[in-house]
Structure 1
């Protein structure tokens, strides 16, 4: 399998730097191909740094691949996330950096591929002239498109298309969320092509044109370069990165005999699950004008032909039922709503230490399907108009989580409703002012970090919080 993978990245037509990175190479033992696209986020320097950290971590951890591939991929992504987060803590200029990625590992010998995905980079499978999108976009607009609520054309032009709900580098606790990394696996049959790409391609080039290029003539390098050219010809608004891998093994052939002396060859066929099966033509009939020996012979030949056609039809059905299907096993993805995505992004990008939340900016209540993470050293969140945080009916995690590095976080005039744990904090960072908890099993859950091998003395006082004399009614 020579020349069966290729990667290329381009700065585009409107950017001054390239925050994308990719991997297109074999693992150390030569039995696996690594195909990965990483899209950096966070400004001129930050995105490049996050993408480079992730690329280095993947090459380090996947230099030798053995055992269960999917857990190995997930652990590698968790490690890359922690390295990005640690780098941010040591450099204020990189505090907004993050990255998204799609990682595919191809088992050459066993005709399988595995993938792990976070964000809005994409994985496609081309099989028998059908282009199938495997990964799901971790964004609100991507969810609308994947669920059929928004057309591809409308999604490509949507003003919030690039607002993502998941990325590496913002939350150090992703290992505790089994749904954070989307994973799956599928057969990789002879003739199949995998495409891994950044949104710089799919924001500008639609699926039909991508398919036309991939099914056209030329090598993988030719096709990769044509995809880059297609994005740049439509404006090249972002960095564009493409990685291609192909199973270039020859399709297997099987032979079958029929009652006649001639031998028919049946070529293995890959089924498109979306297409209707094409039925073979039935036996032709010859009108009989008059009774004669010749007519009798014609009828006998017709009956013999029908019998042979019926035998071949039954053989074809049995053969098709044995063919492998494109079966992708994916971990369900949590999809955040627009309000919580907006609020998390506002917290992450806040330059100062005071955040005013108004009910004119956020619909009421703010339904949380995932934890809001506060990573800052100090932050004062003041609500105006009675802000209510409400747990989604299917969510059982914390409403708000404070990082271990937080020193002074104030929540003023907000309400929590229906959470198992409303606020998860560490040490003594949390300060509450006029906060209401309704239907919360654990309003505040506090953990303390102590150095190892040291004697600890002290006491947790119960008077740190009190019931306010001023009763505030949440709207």
Structure 2
């Protein structure tokens, strides 16, 4: 196992089986570290099955990681949730099974990590001897602790500590709640350590003890084993699982720069330093004077300016004449944007925040487009009240919507496109569709990928994340 990531699990002192599983390995392309802890719920067999389904799904979906990573993690959770729920439907003995999990993807090369989380497993970041809890517990007691209403000590002893309100497998679909999966990203600096663990650790070992173990001058395997031992030494009431990831790149050290006034230089050195300035000021004026033919040069310069001015004037005059249409010229009419287009584009450009709600009451239907709508924001969520339809003008041949290169996360919710050759032109994997219809569109979505020139490229296209149905999915608004 690589030296900068490590995982370990233990049954504990009071359980007969282990419903925890973990992932601590590199992605198939070798560019990312996948770190995950899954805690199964639902009895002797059910919890183990749910946890294993989630683990297998993550390894399958994250074999190659590309594009916008957070939506990929969310989609992976959705697939795992669906598979767990389907398994429950086929086997009544597993009707109560589910799992909670925390997944992190570390990009050590670019000093960043991404995460997705459901339940009461936890994600911590250790930086400069300080341990920071990143994820939030999806439980009532966890909410009280995270909001400061309960101390860590009181929360650890609370009788309802392990009652969770979110898990994969609880419901058939998790799309109805956009906040069901907690997600985020953060810098992952040289020297940082990520800790992902099950509640078997944090129910028994406090933050101070965990910090002491993680800040010890040891490699990751001894640290992981000591965390397990600490939980077992306090009773080992539950399965205990720990995954650690270390950004082992060398920290950049910057030496302090002394102020210029801190050192008194000898007189000789001061003279050497100031000499060039003095020399520049004392250059004799006669060295800069032109020679005796200066008058001739001046006259030639004036003549050049005169000829140049005449040339520019004639060129401009010819252009102005050429711009006047002749009787035999065919005037090409440019499409004039209608009021609805102008209003919509202006609304997108001046939107404060990331959510835009389009009401059918504010726009005459359909919205006829004579030109492209441009989305230049980093992220935006466009959803509708009522039916919003974008229809191509009879003379327009371009796309309805184009996403700029800076767009990273653009959601279109419950809109329709009618008659376009290309409805949406996007780049990389910025686009998310919810209940979007394409009527008579030759190419609904055109995706362009940008890669570095003359490099070997590996990755995956995320088109499989889209699905089609004859009925809309449950509304989110």
Normalization by structure 1: what TM-score?
0.54
Aligned to 1:58: 58
CA contact under 8 A between 2:81 and 2:173: conserved in structure 1? no
1:252 Cα deviation from its structure 2 partner: 1.2
1:74 and 2:74 are equivalent in the alignment: yes
Aligned to 2:210: 210
Aligned to 2:240: 240
CA distance in 2 between counterparts of 1:159 and 1:65 reads 41
Q: Which runs of 4+ in 1 moved over 3 A?
A: 254-263
Aligned to 1:221: 221
CA distance in 2 between counterparts of 1:103 and 1:450 reads 33
CA distance in 2 between counterparts of 1:4 and 1:81 reads 30
1:10 and 2:10 are equivalent in the alignment: yes
1:257 Cα deviation from its structure 2 partner: 4.4
Aligned to 1:37: 37
CA distance in 2 between counterparts of 1:250 and 1:144 reads 39
CA distance in 1 between counterparts of 2:109 and 2:470 reads 50
Q: Deviations over 1:187-212 (max 9, x none)?
A: 00011000000000000000000001
1:55 Cα deviation from its structure 2 partner: 0.1
Q: Which SS does the other structure have where 1:22 is aligned? A: strand
1:162 and 2:176 are equivalent in the alignment: no
CA distance in 1 between counterparts of 2:223 and 2:58 reads 26
1:128 and 2:128 are equivalent in the alignment: yes
CA distance in 1 between counterparts of 2:83 and 2:137 reads 24
Q: Which SS does the other structure have where 1:78 is aligned? A: helix
CA distance in 1 between counterparts of 2:76 and 2:57 reads 7
Identify unmatched segments of 5+ residues in structure 2: 264-468, 472-477
Aligned length: 267
Q: Which SS does the other structure have where 1:14 is aligned? A: coil
Q: Which SS does the other structure have where 1:15 is aligned? A: coil
1:258 Cα deviation from its structure 2 partner: 3.8
1:261 Cα deviation from its structure 2 partner: 10
Alignment of 1:243-392 (within 5 A): 243-255=243-255, 257-260=257-260
Question: RMSD of aligned C-alpha atoms?
Answer: 2.1
Aligned to 1:109: 109
1:175 Cα deviation from its structure 2 partner: 1.7
Aligned to 1:98: 98
1:177 Cα deviation from its structure 2 partner: 1.4
1:109 Cα deviation from its structure 2 partner: 1.1
Q: Deviations over 1:140-179 (max 9, x none)?
A: 0000000000011110010000000000001112022111
- Return closer, same or farther for 1:236/1:259 CA change in 2, 3 Å cut-off: closer
CA distance in 2 between counterparts of 1:241 and 1:88 reads 25
Q: Deviations over 1:61-96 (max 9, x none)?
A: 000000000000000000000000000000011000
1:253 Cα deviation from its structure 2 partner: 2.7
Q: Deviations over 1:300-338 (max 9, x none)?
A: xxxxxxxxxxxxxxxxxxxxxxxxxxxxxxxxxxxxxxx
Identify unmatched segments of 5+ residues in structure 1: 264-448, 452-475
CA distance in 2 between counterparts of 1:450 and 1:255 reads 65
CA distance in 1 between counterparts of 2:234 and 2:188 reads 32
Q: Which SS does the other structure have where 2:113 is aligned? A: strand
1:132 Cα deviation from its structure 2 partner: 0.4
1:216 Cα deviation from its structure 2 partner: 1.0
CA contact under 8 A between 2:111 and 2:188: conserved in structure 1? yes
Q: Deviations over 1:230-267 (max 9, x none)?
A: 0000000000000000001111133564455999xxxx
CA distance in 2 between counterparts of 1:450 and 1:178 reads 22
- Structure with larger Rg: 2
1:217 Cα deviation from its structure 2 partner: 2.3
CA distance in 2 between counterparts of 1:233 and 1:255 reads 44
1:20 Cα deviation from its structure 2 partner: 0.2
CA distance in 2 between counterparts of 1:214 and 1:256 reads 29
Normalization by structure 2: what TM-score?
0.54
Q: Deviations over 1:326-377 (max 9, x none)?
A: xxxxxxxxxxxxxxxxxxxxxxxxxxxxxxxxxxxxxxxxxxxxxxxxxxxx
1:25 and 2:40 are equivalent in the alignment: no
Q: Deviations over 1:413-465 (max 9, x none)?
A: xxxxxxxxxxxxxxxxxxxxxxxxxxxxxxxxxxxx999xxxxxxxxxxxxxx
CA distance in 2 between counterparts of 1:262 and 1:7 reads 52
Q: Which SS does the other structure have where 2:104 is aligned? A: strand
1:35 Cα deviation from its structure 2 partner: 0.5
Q: Which SS does the other structure have where 2:175 is aligned? A: helix
